[in-house]
Amino acid sequence: MALAMFVKALEGPLPRWRPADAHEETDDAHEAAKDAHEAAWYRVAASHHEDAQTCAAYQSLCLHTELFQRPQPSWFAPSFAAAFAHGPPTAAAVRALVEEVSPGVFAFDFLSPSFCERLLCELEHYDSSGLPVVRPNSMNRYGVVLNSIGMEKTIDALQRHYVRALAAALFPVEGEHVDHHHAFMVQYKHGEDLGLDMHTDACDVTLNVCLGKEFTGAGLTFCGLRGGGRERTFSYRHQHVKGRAIMHAGHHRHGADDILGGERYNLILWNKSSTFRASKDYMNKVARPEADEADKPDLVCLSYTHDDDYEKYRPLPAGVVPRRERCAG
């Protein structure tokens, strides 16, 4: 019976449950909802199917097959590999490995320069393969989602064996047990995206590591925590260094300053925790208001994507549609 239901589910969405005495007048509404539900299911299924085909196709084209397997100690900076040589380090050892460069922002040497170069070559090779490119999110017009090219298992292992211990030690509430993720590469250069508007991440704990290449400008500006009362107050400007990573809470407002010259590529891992997301702490977090627009913000902390009062303080950047028009449309 259970097997039969499972097979049925693979064929398509299960029929929606309806109370036996549902009134006939609601039939049309129910039918419309059922159609929408089914259409959504088929869209998701088609997209999974396309992703699976892309991953399989790229396996025979990729440059470095080891990048699609378990992470190796040689991928990491020596200090990072040493800290994990005998399994995940204690919280005290994690604290000794990282530097808290600003409250809630931790920096540490993470990847070896040669690994950064290999990963970048692979991602550039993917880009020139002609296979479909899944972009990271609505804000990044370039870059690629790593799971969509076949690296999901590698990133799963990276999260489980390395990142989880860091997130748990540095963010004991949100990061106690990160267990799923969205992993992507972002890129900035003249003629493409120059920077990234102020935002918070759709995750619990973010890991952000610079892969190179050479660049000037392109700092990462931090303001406050969403709902913390000082969300739009400047706190820190980070200068990325190849191989070095930062870890911060997803609800820490940040944005990428425009690049002035060269090219910058970063690998971003949005870590999410199922346990945290089922907790009261999480419910309280999402219930907090976005930004306190009563307070006078620091100009660098304003977001044209998220703040209704942006234009009260600054003209919109060229080409940006006012938020009220975007939201009305």
Ligand X SMILES: O=C(O)CCC(=O)C(=O)O
Contact residues for Fe ion (CB under 5 A)? Answer: 201
Shortest approach of ligand X to residue 186 CB, angstroms? Answer: 5
Give the span between the Cα atoms of 257 and 247, in whole angstroms.
Answer: 18
> H helices then E strands: how many in the chain?
11, 12
Shortest approach of ligand X to residue 284 CB, angstroms? Answer: 23
Cα–Cα distance list, 205 to 175, 200, 201, 236 (Å): 6, 11, 8, 18
Q: Which of 105, 165, 185, 196 binds ligand X (CB under 6 A)?
A: 196
In whole angstroms, how large is the CA radius of gyration of the chain? Answer: 22
Contact 209, 271 (CB under 8 A): no
Nearer to ligand X, 140 or 303 (CB): 140
Nearer to ligand X, 98 or 256 (CB): 256
Q: One-letter amino acid identity for 122?
A: E
Q: Which of 151, 178, 186, 247 binds ligand X (CB under 6 A)?
A: 186
Give the span between the Cα atoms of 256 and 16, in whole angstroms.
Answer: 44
Please list every residue from 23 through 42 that binds ligand X, using CB under 6 A.
none
> Per-residue x/- mask for ligand X, residues 217 to 256, rule CB under 6 A?
---x---------------------------------x-x
Q: Which does 187 bind (CB under 5 to 8 A by kind): ligand X, Fe ion, none?
A: none
Nearer to ligand X, 83 or 220 (CB): 220
Give the span between the Cα atoms of 111 and 174, in whole angstroms.
Answer: 24
Nearer to ligand X, 83 or 210 (CB): 210
Q: Look at residues 186, 193, 185 and name the one whose alpha carbon lies nearest to residue 319.
A: 193
- Shortest-Cβ-distance residue relative to Fe ion: 201
Can you say whether residue 150 is alpha, beta or left, with left for phi > 0 and alpha for psi between -120 and 50 degrees? left
Shortest approach of Fe ion to residue 304 CB, angstroms? Answer: 15
**Positions in the binding site for ligand X (CB under 6 A):** 140, 186, 196, 201, 208, 220, 254, 256, 266, 268
